[in-house]
Amino acid sequence: MIIVGLTGGIGSGKTTVGKLFQTLGVPVYNSDQQAKELMQNSKHLIKKIKSLLGEESYVDKRLNRSFIAQKVFRDKELLHKLNAIVHPAVREDFLLWVSNQKHAYVIQETALLFENKAEKLYDKIILVTAPEEIRVERVLLRDKNTREAILARIHNQLSDSVKIPKADFIIENIKLEETKEKVESLNRSLLEYS
């Protein structure tokens, strides 16, 4: 079994691409969703997060996302410490998940693959790209955010020009029908490779 990393900047459509692979029967692990799940339910993680960020990190036993976001996105050192707690837990959960899969290959969807210098953890890497304006429009439709906040997040991530040479496959995600065709073609290639 080969392990494929699926990444792309905010608004590029990596989750859409992940779902397209799932419709073809490919197991896809969504790291962001699983991180939230673990932060909400893992007693071990809850204890560490409260120790780092304070009791206000949880309200009525629910993860207080807005409080955490306000604290860590203003303090890179605190964000780094939080990631040092959460990322290993997600990695451990992912490897356990992989051990239960039977497909020729699996995909881990992860936003900050290159930013976290995690390339060596994957046999192949798929990068999803889209023009910046399309990305901004998608995120505006999806989230309650300002254009300025979205652009700040985009510019906080590595640019596609840095990521493209490091990826094995590029899917430019502009029109859904074309993206579906690219995913189907890539699926055939990955099945041959594995």
Q: Which domains does the chain have, with CATH numbers?
A: 1-27+105-194 (3.40.50.300), 33-100 (3.40.50.300)
* β-pair partners for 126: 6, 169
Task: With residue 14 as reference, give the H or E element that holds it.
Answer: helix 14-23
The per-residue pLDDT for range 31-79, each reduced to its tens digit, is 999 999 999 999 999 999 999 999 999 999 999 988 998 888 778 899 8
Q: Report how far residue 30's alpha carbon sits from residue 44's, in angstroms, rounded to the nearest whole number.
A: 21
pLDDT for res 7: 98
Q: What is the pTM of this model?
A: 0.91
Q: Between 46 and 152, where is the model more confident? A: 46
Catalogue the E-assigned strands of 50-191: 58-59, 62-63, 105-109, 124-129, 169-172
How far apart (Å, rounded) are the C-alpha atoms in residues 109 and 75?
26
- Confidence category of residue 143, pLDDT binned at 50, 70, 90: confident
